[in-house]
Copies of this chain bind each other. A is one copy, B any other.
Amino acid sequence: MKIVEIRESTRPISSSIRNAYIDFSKMTLSLVAVVTDVVRDGKPVIGYGFNSNGRYGQGALMRERFIPRVLEAAPETLRDTERDNLDPHRVWATMMANEKPGGHGERSVAVGTIDMAVWDAVAKIARQPLHRLLAERYGNGQSADPRVFVYAAGGYYWPGQGIEGLTREMQGYLDRGYSVVKKKIGGGSLAEDCQRIEAVLKLLGPGQRLAVDANGRFDLKTAVAYAKALSQYDLFWYEEAGDPLDYALQAELAQHYDKPMATGENLFSMQDARNLIRYGGMRPDRDWLQFDCALSYGLVEYLRTLDMLREHGWSARRCVPHGGHQMSLAIAAGLGLGGNESYPDLFQPFGGFPDGVRVENSIVTLPELPGIGFEGKADLYAEMKALAA
Contacts and interface: CB of A to CB of B under 8 A. Distances in A.
A106 B54 CA distance: 16
B266 A103 contact: yes
Given A22-B100, A100-B21, A102-B216, A269 B248 contact: no
Contacts of A108: 103, 105
Given A60-B60, A106-B107, A108-B103, A247 B268 contact: no
Interface in A15-30: 21-23, 26-27
B61 A106 contact: yes
A311 interface: no
Interface stretch (A137-145, A238-246, A361-369, A380-388): A238-246
A107 B21 CA distance: 17
Nearest to A53: B100
B56 A275 contact: no
A54 B100 CA distance: 7
Interface in A94-116: 97-108
Contact of A100 (B55, B269, B275, B279): B55
A245 B275 contact: yes
Contacts of A216: 100-102
B102 A102 contact: no
Interface residues of A, number: 43
A102 B278 contact: no
Contacts of A54: 100
Contacts of A269: 245
Contacts of A41: none
Contacts of A246: 271, 274
Contacts of A101: 21, 216, 243-245, 266
A276 B104 CA distance: 15
A64 interface: yes
Interface string A217-246: 000000000000000000000000001111
Most buried by B among A27, A101, A107, A244: A101
Interface of A: 21-23, 26-27, 54-56, 60-61, 64-65, 97-108, 215-216, 243-248, 266-269, 271-272, 274-275, 278-279, 295
6 pairs of A and B residues whose beta carbons are closest in the complex:
A60-B60, A103-B105, A102-B266, A106-B106, A102-B244, A245-B271
Given A60-B60, A248-B278, 12 more contacts: A21-B100, A23-B98, A56-B64, A61-B61, A101-B216, A101-B245, A103-B104, A103-B106, A105-B106, A245-B274, A246-B274, A279-B279
